[in-house]
Amino acid sequence: MNVTVQTAAVIRALKQTVSAHVLTVATVVAAGTLLAGCQKVSDVTGSITRSSEPAPNDPMAMRRYAEDLGRRYDAAPNDKATALRYARALRATGQAEQATAVLQRAAAAMPNDLDVLGAYGKSLSDVGRLQEAANVLEKAHTPERPNWSIYSAQGSVADKLGEHQAAQNYYRAALQIAPEEPSVMSNLGLSYALTRQLPLAEETLRRASANPRADGRVRQNLALILALQGKFTEAEEVERQVLSPQEAATNIAQIRQMIAQSNTWRDIQNYDRKPQGKPTARPRQPQRPSVSPDPQLSALDLPSR
């Protein structure tokens, strides 16, 4: 996905936050910036091997692969492995609605299968059926078998719904199972940013970016948060870890231009100094196993108000 499209979507969401005091992050997640809520072809759903899957950057091979899986699926629509692989391939070729339909059928046939429910819930989130996604994901793991990737997906859905404290609780629960997992840390950092806590977002994303397992999207998220604070030189240096020098310079210049046009970053930085009205609604609390505070995350906890 084009990097500029991603960053523009984040800035638009941040601008909505400041102007409306109600966070809408659907554009952020639709752009693929929140990592764990958005599956790609290489996502792990259960223990199914995918050694034969083509690289996601080879669209022709992926389309042929999807067509082949479609024939297998037609022959055995209730086969779990085939359904999950076919849904992943459909989503990798831009057919998210069809992928959701495949997973809906699989979930109806296997209503107690946690792998299927997890994939279905994430797919529902991707196509914007958020409340359905929340309901399905709640059933996709149990207190006895908690799954960090499901917690992270639940956090992504909660962020899309504007329930950011709940989202951050989900991310923290995920991190208790998978400490320092960079995709979850990145989502937590963006959630802080989208609630106008840029220094906390930066600290969290720095930790995520420093992890050897962090991918380019994590570093691009860090670069964006740096740019939103006016740290353009450092933001460009971070972008160069992912992009060519020319692409990094162009991307940061475009971010700078968007910020200058909207004054979004200044509004966000000044937000905590503005008088705040009463909240319009109390966030729905996540129904999940209770978790004790993670001492590794104590520095990142939201301040008590």
> 162-184, pLDDT tens digit by residue?
999 999 999 999 999 999 999 99
Output the CA torsion 151→155→161→165 (10° steps). 120
Mean pLDDT of 274-284: 44
pLDDT in tens, 200-217: 999 999 999 999 999 999
Ranges 22-31, 83-92, 184-193: which has the least confidence: 22-31
Mean pLDDT of 263-284: 50
pLDDT in tens, 281-303: 343 444 544 443 333 333 333 33
Residue 46 carries which DSSP code?
Answer: T
- pTM (two decimals): 0.74
Ranges 24-28, 120-124, 157-161: which has the least confidence: 24-28
What does the alpha-carbon distance between residue 176 and residue 21 come to, in Å, rounded to a whole number? 30
What topology does CATH give the domain 3-43+58-274?
1.25.40
pLDDT of 2 over the 80 cut: no
Confidence at 268, pLDDT banded by 50, 70, 90: low
Confidence at 255, pLDDT banded by 50, 70, 90: confident
pLDDT in tens, 51-74: 456 655 678 899 999 999 999 999
pLDDT at position 52 is 56
